[in-house]
Amino acid sequence: MEPTYTSHDLILTLALSSMALAIAGATALAIFWPLTHVQLRDLHPGWVGRYLVQPKRNRWLWFLRGGFTEINDPRVNGLARPLQISLWVIAFGLSCAGLLWLISEYLVQ
């Protein structure tokens, strides 16, 4: 007797794969965030005070939109670009996982 897999099973598998993608992005974030922060703190203390310490500004959005490119330092760009990519991967993975979960719960029976 062959096992039967439904489209519900496939969608949930894709949702779990999207969660794995978000976890991979979080791992990259854990690696590149301290490196980038130390590089900014040591080489550009004015930028840290302006963009990364003030509570009114969201540092994740600053990195997500690429605000670090205004600094024009290749050392900072070399560390901040993977940080930006990891933030996009996390956002993409979580949004896909949530969307697929909603599809599996409400549209596929």
**% of the chain residues with pLDDT over 70:** 91
Q: Give pairs for 65-70: CB < 8 Å, separation 24+.
A: 68/36, 68/40
Q: Specify the pLDDT at position 96.
A: 95
DSSP per position, 51-81: IIS-TTS-HHHHHHTTGGGGG--HHHHHHHH
Residue 2 lies in a domain: no
Model confidence, pTM: 0.85
Domain that holds residue 13: 8-106
Residue 40 lies in a domain: yes
pLDDT band per the 50, 70, 90 thresholds, residue 45:
confident
Split into its structural domains, the chain has a count of 1
Residue 1 lies in a domain: no
Residue 41 lies in a domain: yes
Residue 69 lies in a domain: yes
